[in-house]
Structure 1
Amino acid sequence: MTTPRDPDDGIRDIVDADVLKAFTNPLRSRLYELLALDGPATVGMLAERAGAAVGSVSHHLGILARAGLIVEAPELARDAREHWWQRAQRGIRWSADGFADPSGREIADSLEAQMLDQQHAQARAWLAERDERPDWADVAFAHQSRLWLTPEELTELGEAMAEVLRSFADRDREGREAVLVWARAFPNRP
Structure 2
Amino acid sequence: METTPDPDGIRDIVDADVLKAFTHPLRNRLYDLLAVDGPATVSMLAERAGVAIGSVSHHLGILARAGLVVEAPELARDAREHWWQRAQRGIRWSSSRLADPAARTIADSLEAQMLQEQHDRARQWLDERDARPEWSEVAFAHQSRLWLSPAELAELDEAIVALVRSYSGRDHDGREAVLMWARAFPNRP
* TM-score, normalised relative to structure 1: 0.96
1:77 is matched with 76
Residues in 1 aligned to 2:66 and 2:101: alpha-carbon distance in whole angstroms: 20
Residues in 2 aligned to 1:46 and 1:139: alpha-carbon distance in whole angstroms: 30
Q: Secondary structure, in 3 states, of the residue corresponding to 2:22? A: helix
Larger RCO (CA within 8 A; separation ≥ 6): 1
2:155 is matched with 156
Residues in 1 aligned to 2:114 and 2:134: alpha-carbon distance in whole angstroms: 27
2:135 is matched with 136
**Mind listing any 5+ residue stretches in structure 2 that lack a counterpart?**
none
Identity across the alignment (%): 77
2:98 is matched with 99
Cα deviations by residue, 1:88-137 (Å, 9 ceiling, x for unpaired): 00000000112111110000000000000000000000000000000000
Residue 9 of structure 1 deviates from its aligned partner by 1.4
Alignment of 1:104-115 (within 5 A): 104-115=103-114
2:51 is matched with 52
**Mind listing any 5+ residue stretches in structure 1 that lack a counterpart?**
1-5
* TM-score, normalised relative to structure 2: 0.97
Residues in 2 aligned to 1:152 and 1:77: alpha-carbon distance in whole angstroms: 48
Would you say how many aligned residue pairs link Structure 1 and Structure 2?
A: 185
1:166 is matched with 165
Residues in 2 aligned to 1:101 and 1:89: alpha-carbon distance in whole angstroms: 24
Residues in 1 aligned to 2:175 and 2:20: alpha-carbon distance in whole angstroms: 32
Aligned-partner residue type, residue 7 of structure 1:
D
Residues in 2 aligned to 1:140 and 1:68: alpha-carbon distance in whole angstroms: 34
Residue 186 of structure 1 deviates from its aligned partner by 0.1
Residue 52 of structure 1 deviates from its aligned partner by 0.7
Aligned-partner residue type, residue 126 of structure 2:
L
Cα deviations by residue, 1:53-106 (Å, 9 ceiling, x for unpaired): 100100000000010000000010010000000000000000011211111000
Residues in 2 aligned to 1:146 and 1:153: alpha-carbon distance in whole angstroms: 14
Query: Which runs of 4 or more aligned residues in structure 1 lie more than 6 Å from their structure 2 counterparts after TM superposition?
Result: none
Q: Secondary structure, in 3 states, of the residue corresponding to 1:24? A: coil
Residue 172 of structure 1 deviates from its aligned partner by 1.1
Residue 7 of structure 1 deviates from its aligned partner by 2.6
